[in-house]
Structure 1
């Protein structure tokens, strides 16, 4: 019987690589993108969970929260604009993920089946980010804390949770950031000498979602070329 996986933010970059890795491993995947709904709308995660459940014949075995936004929010912006930017990033990156995690936990408890959650966080959860990205770093730190809490709370139910923290990854988003910040200088901060490839993150997520040992639940895995080691 194939494993049924729901993944958000799967249209490109890391999300597309995760979806490809999972499908290549034999999983049946529902790969959601912004075309399926705007996660900034608090009603969207509930709707997407139900529609995905319907598409997967009433059974979801794994959830990968990859959808996120990385939008500048300068501290000197107008008060209302800064708060709106903060709230949007928190809703998309953290709250929507929490809503989906909650649905997954309740689904698995009701089925008595167990399941796996993989949350794609960021190096920024530990290292922080630029002065215009307080909200991004805070949202990803929240994902890590949420993952650890879920792992501790529900391991007894066979519900496992993992977080992956990429550094710079070769996606369109990272390309823009590297260009704006001086790519050579940033690459010099990565001992490996290059940014991660989406397929590297995809394989890590596939493994966590399907094959990682149960005793690893609660683990936070880095993929940043040793640019930040804990």
Structure 2
């Protein structure tokens, strides 16, 4: 039996990942606002509470951590100074710091058990390409997630602890629909050679592969799912 903790599982990419991992031999615990274990990642203590709750439900063993929870909120630079900084810090706390806290707990858990484990972090194309002038914080948080993933992969591979990241481009979730509507969908779609945004199920297919089947030598890999809108 493989025990998986998935954050942000209640909608969008997270819900698609949960569906993709509805397999024999897999036990999944989700976290989210609408289902699973509730935890507000604005609270610095929330990741540890979530981890312990999942650990208790799993009987003391977690094998895979998938960090998917995140926010995508505008933060224009002409905002009031305090409001701009507060929004920057909120995005960093939810998107990066909470994920880092869970990764740390996962690594320590596997080290203590002398057991292998896998981390899959859902980052973004913005980590490499950047984002709009109102989304510095989002791009920076996702770039940090990619760098963290690579650091974990390099630091703990000898312990059998593997780390991967996925960088989706626009994906048809609630966040993407709002963004497409606000920025002019046709113009943005013209920038995607495939001619469409990704479906959450496509991201979920990659997440399932990394969580269960990717060979150990792939640790540290970052998979792009963006319709060739950014190639590197």
What is the match of residue 107 of structure 1? 109
Unaligned runs of 5+ in 2: none
Alignment correspondent of 1:12: 11
* SS class of match (2:22): helix
Work out whether 1:155 is the aligned partner of 2:157: yes
The list of structure 1 runs, each at least 4 consecutive aligned residues, that deviate by more than 4 angstroms after superposition, is none
CA distance in 2, matches of 1:73, 1:179: 17
The equivalent residue for 1:118 is: 120
Give CA deviations for 1:121-142 in whole Å, capped at 9, x if unaligned.
0000000000010000000000
Q: TM-score, normalized by length of structure 1?
A: 0.98
1:206 to 202, 205, 208: 208
What is the CA-CA distance between 1:15 and the residue it aligns to? 0.3
Q: How many residues of Structure 1 are paired with residues of Structure 2 in the alignment?
A: 229
Which ranges in structure 1 are unaligned for 5 or more consecutive residues? none
User: CA deviation digits over 1:187-217, x for unaligned, max 9?
Assistant: 1111111110000000100110110000000
Aligned-residue offset at 1:172 = 1.2
Give the TM-score taking structure 2 as reference length: 0.97
How far apart are 1:22 and its partner, in Å?
A: 1.2
Could you tell me which of 75, 78, 97 is aligned with 2:77? 75
| 1:114 positional shift | 1.0
For residue 5 of structure 1, give the secondary structure of its aligned residue in structure 2: strand
Equivalent residue for 2:97, pick from 85, 88, 95? 95
Take 1:166 and 1:217, find their aligned partners in 2: how far apart are those partners? 18
Report deviation, 1:23: 1.7
Counterpart-to-counterpart distance in 1, 2:149 and 2:6 = 16
The answer to which of 146-155 and 33-42 deviates more is 33-42
Aligned residue in 1 for 2:138: 136
2:75 partner SS: coil
The residue correspondences of 1:44-83 to structure 2 (distance < 5 A) are: 44-83=46-85
Counterpart among 33, 41, 44 of residue 39 in structure 1: 41
CA distance in 2, matches of 1:27, 1:17: 15
Secondary structure of the residue aligned to 2:21 is helix
Per-residue CA distance 1:21-64 (angstroms, 9 max, x = gap): 11236410001103501101001000000000011111000000
Partner of 1:182: 184
Give the corresponding residue for 1:169: 171
The whole-number CA distance in structure 2 between the counterparts of 1:169 and 1:68 is 14
